[in-house]
Structure 1
Amino acid sequence: MSEAVLDELTDLQHQQYLTFVLRDESYGISITAVKEIIEYGSVTSIPLMPEFVKGVLNLRGEVVPVIDLSIRFGKTPTKIHNRSCIVILEVPFEHQQVVLGVVVDAVNEVLDIRPEDIEGAPTFGAKIRAQFIKGVANINEQFVILLHGDRVLSVEEMANIIESVIEQ
């Protein structure tokens, strides 16, 4: 087998995940959803938005909503400090890619994780809704919760919540 074919097979067997910390827990999201990582700052709050919507930021002329992932998971708001950052993601919505930012405590690294190293989402005992969890990987004796980016950041669900708040 040629080296190019072997490289292609290896790519199919591994998926890369950006890992980050949120409330002392490690999470990962597919690198294919990540557009960029920026320093936290210049988030403009918007009145009457749900608590998990921190506001919007101007990213090179594009208005990007910023979500506090900690609140989205039903926890207390993220405390901003020197390692806090915003991960800019592209998520699918109605046949297009929508750009959203998520606030995290810190970004760790990009990891190659093989599908066989991922256990299914727990059916009970998880601190966040099971539908958000793609699976759990044990990396160097530490669990990393792998997220479904399109479910955690469901543009349709968030639009419905925001719409219901505006109607009140």
Structure 2
Amino acid sequence: MNDANRAAIAMQALILDLGGEIFAIDAAQVREILDEVPITQVPNARPFVDGLINVRGRVVPLADLRVAFGMTRTATDEDSRIVVIEIELGGESSIVAIYADRVYDVTDIETASIEEAPKVGMRWRSEYVRGISRRGESFVIIPNLERIFVEEGDLEPVPQKAEA
């Protein structure tokens, strides 16, 4: 691939379905895709975090982006997957997992096809959307995962109380 073609491609993206909407996650962030696994519930966890899962001996929080986007939760089925991703939170690399109702494929998304999320007419918070692209006749939402996980997951460092 020459430099002009490489510049035209914004990212290779994993295309997935969430609540009937098509989303694109940067494939470079994807570590693995799992079938359903046992989930350990966490008392008093925020609705966004369903619990913890074991990924190759590592404890990983499992989040439901449908909650962040105000969608209805649906039961898992034979197409449901868990996508394990690596994102930067608070300047550190973090491994998290998200539900997907279905995983389609990996495709190139061209820079020219990505538009800014409209500020009006969206049913989601526009700051949660990095951009919108097209896939055939459908729109593809490119979420701002770092922003979602910090705000919905409240994953910013909590200040420690000084000892008296």
Ranges of 4+ aligned residues in structure 1 off by more than 4 Å: none
| Aligned equivalent of 1:63 | 59
Q: Is the 8 Å Cα contact of residues 29 and 148 (structure 1) preserved in structure 2?
A: no
Q: 2:5 aligns with which of 7, 10, 15?
A: 10
Q: 1:79 aligns with which of 47, 54, 75?
A: 75
* Structure 2 residue 141 is the aligned partner of structure 1 residue 112: no
- Measure the CA separation in 1 of the matches of 2:89 and 2:140: 26
Give the number of aligned pairs: 157
| Aligned equivalent of 1:29 | 25
- Measure the CA separation in 1 of the matches of 2:151 and 2:38: 22
- Measure the CA separation in 2 of the matches of 1:77 and 1:157: 17
Q: Is the 8 Å Cα contact of residues 16 and 111 (structure 1) preserved in structure 2?
A: yes
What is the root-mean-square deviation in Å for CA atoms of aligned residues? 2.1
Shift of 1:58: 0.8
* Structure 2 residue 137 is the aligned partner of structure 1 residue 141: yes
Q: 2:49 aligns with which of 47, 53, 67?
A: 53
Query: TM-score w.r.t. structure 1 length?
Result: 0.85
Query: TM-score w.r.t. structure 2 length?
Result: 0.87
Query: What does the per-residue CA deviation read over 1:112-136, in whole Å, with 9 as the maximum and x for residues that have no partner?
Result: 0111011111111212210011111
Q: Which runs of 5+ in 2 are unaligned?
A: 160-164
- SS at 1:154 equivalent: helix
Q: Partner amino acid for 1:13? A: A
| Aligned equivalent of 2:91 | 95
Residues 1:95 and 1:156: Cα distance change in structure 2 (over 3 Å): farther
- SS at 1:121 equivalent: coil
| Aligned equivalent of 1:19 | 15
Query: What does the per-residue CA deviation read over 1:140-162, in whole Å, with 9 as the maximum and x for residues that have no partner?
Result: 111111112211222795236x9
- Measure the CA separation in 2 of the matches of 1:158 and 1:40: 25
Q: Which structure's residues are more often helix, by fraction? A: 1
Q: Is the 8 Å Cα contact of residues 69 and 102 (structure 1) preserved in structure 2?
A: yes
Q: Which runs of 5+ in 1 are unaligned?
A: 1-5, 164-168
- Measure the CA separation in 1 of the matches of 2:152 and 2:23: 23
